[in-house]
Amino acid sequence: MTSGDEPAQIEKRMVVEYGITLDGVWLPLAMLRRLAAHGPWDKPFTEASADQERVLLAHSLAERHNRAGLHRGLGLRGFLDAIPYEPTVSFSKISDDGHPQVS
């Protein structure tokens, strides 16, 4: 129940995640941008999976951070600049039958 004594509505949403597959491992663009904010003197970046960490280190996109996590590597800035990226364009809702809903 919600605060107005109305039953909560469960919604189904489609989420778009931009990224790149490198050596068979998915690297989300948002994660790479967060990694770029972690320098050697900042707190370590710890959200990469073991496979992502292996690929980031192998391609100099990240470096080990005092044996606990990562920080941005020398190649990360150029790598991010080379990825073509455009912001998500809004689109209309789609009904259960697959047709756009008219507002």
In-domain check, residue 72 = yes
In-domain check, residue 103 = no
In-domain check, residue 6 = no
5 pLDDT higher than 90: no
Query: What mean pLDDT is predicted for residues 6-25?
Result: 86
Q: What is the pTM of this model?
A: 0.69
Q: Which residue has the tokens 């129940």?
A: 1
As a whole number of angstroms, the longest Cα–Cα distance in the chain is 55
pLDDT score, position 25 = 96
Our count of domains for the chain comes to 1
- Alpha carbon distance 103, 54 (integer Å): 47
In-domain check, residue 4 = no
**Among candidates 101, 62, 66, which has minimal Cα distance to 80?**
62
In-domain check, residue 29 = yes
In-domain check, residue 66 = yes
SS3 label, residue 63: strand
